[in-house]
């Protein structure tokens, strides 16, 4: 391996220096032994079970996100209601090309590589998600079906996210084990927020200032 920062291969590379220092520093120290993983690896509840849905909703509301439950064939209506409640004109929203249904209506702009400036001029974005965590009120996007490029869920100020009940697991370990680390991942827990002023949380900084979750439950 040639270090791109080094000119002549004859000179010791910084890579070799740092690795050499590490080996000298650790030396003959005794092996610290196996990692004890006695923490809960599951939550004891099945994905999508009623208690997890309630917990997930409670956590989201705590982050000042809104939650609306509906059946699978009611998603388009639920999204339309959300948009109509926020805008007194037809909302301009972007959707990924592979959204599982006509959730955002026929007028939605399909992302075909829109520029950040174009996205900034739109009102919102409607997507699906990959996994959700009930205990922490977290939604994970992995760029898979119905989620699109990372930029489309970042620049518009409103994110409407459709979460299926069976995507909701109880705990963080259950979620991590369902994810593929090779994909670009975004964990979202409520709208953007900051604690930087006197360590008090206020919602709404650079990311979407509004997060609306549509929870798709069995009838």
Partner 1 sequence: MSTFLGMPDVGHAPRGVGHLRGEEPFPAAARKALANAQLRRNIGHATSTIRAKRAAVVGEVPDWEELRTAGRDIKNATMHRLDSYLEQLEANIQARGGVVHWARDAIEANEIVTRLVKATGSDEVVKVKSMATQEIGLNEALEAAGITPYETDLAELIVQLGHDLPSHILVPAIHRNRAEIREIFLREMPDADPGLTDEPQVLAMAARKHLREKFLTARVAISGANFAVAETGTLSVVESEGNGRMCLTLPQTLITVMGIEKVVPAWTDLEVFLQLLPRSSTGERMNPYTSMWTGVTPGDGPQEFHLVLLDNGRTATLADPDGREALNCIRCSACLNVCPVYERTGGHAYGSVYPGPIGAVLSPQLTGIEDNASLPYASSLCGACYDVCPVKIDIPTMLVHLRAEHVDARRAEGRPSPEALVMRAAAWTMSNPRRWALAQRLTRLGRLLGRRRDRISQLPPPLSSWTASRDLPRPPEETFSEWWTRTRGSQP
Give the footprint of partner 1 on residues 115-154 (CB under 8 A): 116-117, 120, 133, 135-138, 143, 149-151, 154
Among 78, 104, 131, 188, binds partner 1 (CB under 8 A): 188
Q: Which of residues 33-52 bind partner 1 (CB under 8 A)?
A: 33-40
CA distance 149 to 142: 9
Query: In this chain, which stretch among 19-27, 83-91, 92-100, 160-168 interacts with partner 1, using CB under 8 A?
Result: 19-27
Q: What are phi and psi for residue 95, nearest 5 degrees?
A: -135, 150
- Give me 146's structure tokens: 């119905």
Cβ nearer to partner 1, comparing 108 with 188: 188
Q: Of how many residues is the chain composed?
A: 219
Q: What are phi and psi for residue 58, nearest 5 degrees?
A: -60, -45
Counting beta carbons within 10 angstroms of the beta carbon of residue 9, is it exposed (0 to 12), middle (13 to 18) or buried (19 or more)?
A: exposed
Q: Which residue has the tokens 């992302």?
A: 111
Query: In this chain, which stretch among 75-83, 88-96, 102-110, 205-213 interacts with partner 1, using CB under 8 A?
Result: 205-213
Q: Which of residues 58-117 bind partner 1 (CB under 8 A)?
A: 59, 62-63, 113, 116-117
For the bound state, the minimum distance from the C-beta of residue 26 to partner 1, rounded and expressed in Å, comes to 6
Contacts of 209 (CB under 8 A, 6+ apart): 157, 158, 191, 192, 203
Among 2, 7, 10, 88, binds partner 1 (CB under 8 A): 10
Among 8, 88, 89, 206, binds partner 1 (CB under 8 A): 206
For the bound state, the minimum distance from the C-beta of residue 218 to partner 1, rounded and expressed in Å, comes to 26
Q: CA angle 107-113-117, nearest 5°? A: 80
Query: In this chain, which stretch among 72-80, 122-130, 162-170, 184-192 interacts with partner 1, using CB under 8 A?
Result: 184-192
């Amino acid at each position: 391996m040639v270090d791109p920062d080094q000119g002549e291969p004859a000179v010791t590379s910084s890579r070799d220096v740092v690795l050499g220092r590490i080996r000298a520093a650790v030396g003959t120290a005794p092996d610290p032994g196996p990692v004890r993983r006695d923490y809960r690896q599951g939550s004891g509840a099945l994905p999508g079970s009623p208690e997890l849905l309630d917990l997930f909703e409670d956590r989201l509301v705590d982050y000042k996100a809104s939650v609306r439950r509906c059946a699978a064939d009611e998603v388009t209506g639920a999204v339309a209601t959300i948009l109509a409640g926020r805008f007194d004109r037809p909302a301009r929203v972007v959707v990924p090309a592979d959204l599982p249904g006509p959730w955002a209506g026929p007028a939605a702009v399909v992302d075909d590589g829109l520029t950040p400036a174009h996205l900034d001029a739109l009102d919102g974005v409607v997507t699906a998600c990959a996994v959700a965590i009930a205990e922490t009120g977290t939604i994970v996007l992995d760029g898979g079906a119905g989620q699109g490029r990372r930029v489309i869920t970042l620049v518009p100020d409103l994110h409407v996210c459709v979460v299926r009940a069976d995507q909701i697991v109880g705990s963080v370990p259950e979620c991590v084990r369902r994810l593929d680390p090779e994909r670009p991942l975004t964990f979202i827990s409520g709208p953007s927020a900051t604690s930087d002023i006197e360590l008090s949380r206020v919602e709404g900084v650079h990311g979407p200032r509004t997060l609306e979750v549509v929870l798709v439950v069995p009838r």
